[in-house]
Amino acid sequence: MAPRSALLLLFTLFLAFLGSCSCDLDKAIKIGFVGSITGKNSDLGVAERDAVQLAVENVNSSGGINGRMLSLIVRDDAFTPERAAEAVESLAREKVAAIIGPTGSSMAKVALPVAARNNIVLVSPTSSTNELSGKDDHFFRVMEPNQLFARHLAETCIKLKIRRVAAIYDLQNRTYTVEIFQEFRDEFTRRGGTIAGVQSFDSTTAPVFMPLVEKLGLAKADGVMVLASSVDSINIGQQIRKIDPRIPIISGACGIAQRDLVQQAGKSINNIIFTLPVNSRCAKPSYTTFHDAFAKRFNYQPTFAAVLAYDAAQAVMAGLRKNPDPQRFRETMKGIRSFPGLQGEVELDPFGDPHRNLYILRYAEGREEVIE
């Protein structure tokens, strides 16, 4: 080959190489979202999806991640194991860099093996099961494990002189509800409290709640713990109020995730006490800016789930800024030991579990009060 022809060929190949690099640089980074957008836990899933959408829009309006735009692909698991597994498989085919979700603990347990098989990281906003704690896997989260929530609730009950607690919980999401109850029971009784009565139900069988509430023996209790979806928690709360208008209702975080539903229920579920990793009265500019932007964008107030989902998105974006390579993203996320959350720095341990403050809130007379 003549020297001139060889030089021309090399120059052509060089231009092609530059073009391929430019295309790779301009190509959007795909992020997946899996959540319960329909079904009884849709209050969690919708709020989380909207918060992640806002996070993506904010990043893209600021130039993206290292010059590359983000593309959000949403999948609804409808809070069913089959749909959760299918959602992750679908996002794997889309070659997403990471998945934010799932919403619930039961769905996370099903989704994780599928994600691991496809080498995709899950960063869950609200999956809190103890079963996924302390493991070197593809699962990361921004919500504390159930053990810490339950112990915090037990300590709070003792402080508030609630020493006899009845409990009712849904078996459908047992990795959340049963874990919370058992951890609470153990810590509460260790501190001198008494479990006055226990009832369980399966929300997939359309249970009638009044007979279950009547069996709790509320006359012998100082408080009643309700661990279920927002819809079921409110329905149970209404039945409790027919028997006892004043007894404190102790709820898990996910039981009252949708503040609008609580407000609609009114005084029938007055005096609810719950533990959250989010302070609704936080005055930090990062939180108030998010709060106002979210309300303006989606026309409703952000719930705790929305705050945690935005934080989960920030964790993923912190990893993408370090290295967007999907094949190495698990190792990249393991190197993220802290990132800026809406209400302060969120620390992650070597297994991807967070360390953040917990708050006790009471809902009474149509307003929230931060107890501690």
Measured distance CA(252)–CA(179) in Å, rounded = 11
Burial class (CB in 10 A: 0-12, 13-18, 19+), 341: buried
pLDDT tens for 28-78 read 999 999 999 998 788 889 999 999 999 999 999 999 999 999 999 999 999
pLDDT tens for 88-112 read 999 999 999 999 999 888 899 999 9
pLDDT tens for 185-210 read 999 999 999 999 999 999 989 999 99
Quick check: is 20 in a domain?
no
Are 132 and 169 found together in one domain?
no
Quick check: is 266 in a domain?
yes
Are 288 and 248 found together in one domain?
no
CB atoms within 10 A of CB 310: 28
The bridge status of strand 354-355 relative to strand 344-348 is antiparallel
Residue numbers of the domain that contains 193: 147-276
The bridge status of strand 139-141 relative to strand 29-35 is unpaired
Are 174 and 227 found together in one domain?
yes
Which residues contact residue 256 at a Cβ distance below 8 angstroms, ignoring those fewer than 6 apart? 230, 233, 234, 262, 272, 274, 363
Are 114 and 213 found together in one domain?
no
Are 138 and 151 found together in one domain?
no
The CATH number that applies at residue 349 is: 3.40.50.2300
